[in-house]
Structure 1
Amino acid sequence: MSRYLLDKFLYTVDRDPELVERYREDPRGTVAWWEAERANALLNCHPAEASTWLRLTDAEREALGTHDYPRLFELGAHPFLTLTLFIAMFERDHEEPLAFQREYARKLSHFTLPYPDIAT
C-alpha cells in the first residue's frame, strides 16, 4: 500500500479550492491527473525536485475515484485528512448543521478498535 501517497492526495487536494471542485465533479479524472502530474512532486521542495517511483494501488485509485471514504479509511487513509476534504466537497449538499459529519460517522461506525493502521 502507499498510505503516504494516499494521504498526500487528500492533503494537497484539500488545500486547493479549485482541486476540491475538480475532484468533486470528476473524481476519476482528477485522481489520474494528480497521480501523473503531482504525485511524485516532493512536498515543500523546489518544483524541479521529484520522485519517480510513487504510485497509488488499484484499490486506492478505485476508492479515491468513487469518493469511497469508508474504503479509504479501511486502506489506512488518515481519518482527519479524509474528513476535512469530504466536508469541503459535500457539506453543502446537506441542509442540517453537521449532517455530513454524522453521515461520515454512520458510514464508519462498523469499524471497531483497533482501527486500521494510519501510520505512514
Structure 2
Amino acid sequence: MSKYLLNKFLFTVDRDPDLVERYREDPQGTVEWWESSEANRILACHLGESSSWLRFEDDERTALATHDYPKLFELGAHPFLTLTLFIAMFERDHAEPLGFQLEYARKLAHMSLPYPDITT
C-alpha cells in the first residue's frame, strides 16, 4: 500500500479544475490514466524525469475508481485531501448548506480513535 501515492493522486487532481471534472464524470478512466501517465512523475522536478515503481494496490484503485472516500480514509489517505477534493466534486449536488461535509461526517461516523495512520 502506498499512502504517498493515494495522497499524491488526491493532491494533484484537486489542484486542476479540469481533472476534478474528469474524475467526477469518469472516475475509473481518470484513475487508470493517472496511474499510467502521472503517478511516476517526480513532483517539482524537471519534465521527463520520473520513477517507474509506483502502482496502486487493487483496494486503493477500487476505492478511487468508485469515489469510496470512507475506504480511502481507512486506507490512510489524508482526510483533508479527500475532503477538499470531494467537496469540489459533490458539494453542488446538495441543496442544504454544508451538505456534502455533513454526508462525509455521517459516512465516517463509524470510525473511532485511533484513526488510521496518515503518515507517509
Q: TM-score, normalised by structure 2?
A: 0.99
Q: Gapped runs of 5+ residues in structure 2?
A: none
Distance in 2 between the 1:25 and 1:5 partners? 21
Distance in 1 between the 2:47 and 2:59 partners? 28
Distance in 2 between the 1:43 and 1:106 partners? 34
Structure 1 counterpart of 2:115, one-letter code: Y
Determine if the alignment matches structure 1 residue 103 to structure 2 residue 113.
no
Distance in 1 between the 2:74 and 2:61 partners? 14
Deviations 1:2-59 (A, max 9, x none): 1000000000000000000000000000000000000000111111110100001000
- 2:36 aligns to what? 36
Query: What's the % identity of the aligned pairs?
Result: 76
Q: TM-score, normalised by structure 1?
A: 0.99
- 1:3 aligns to what? 3
Across the two proteins, how many residue pairs are aligned to each other?
Answer: 120
Q: Gapped runs of 5+ residues in structure 1?
A: none
Structure 2 counterpart of 1:96, one-letter code: E
Distance in 2 between the 1:101 and 1:92 partners? 11
Distance in 1 between the 2:48 and 2:2 partners? 22
Deviations 1:70-119 (A, max 9, x none): 00000000000000000000000001110100000010010000000100
The 3-state SS of whatever aligns with 2:96 is: coil
Counterparts of 1:1-120 in structure 2, within 5 Å, are 1-120=1-120
Distance in 1 between the 2:8 and 2:74 partners? 17
C-alpha RMSD of matched pairs (Å) = 0.4
Moved more, 42-51 or 26-35: 42-51
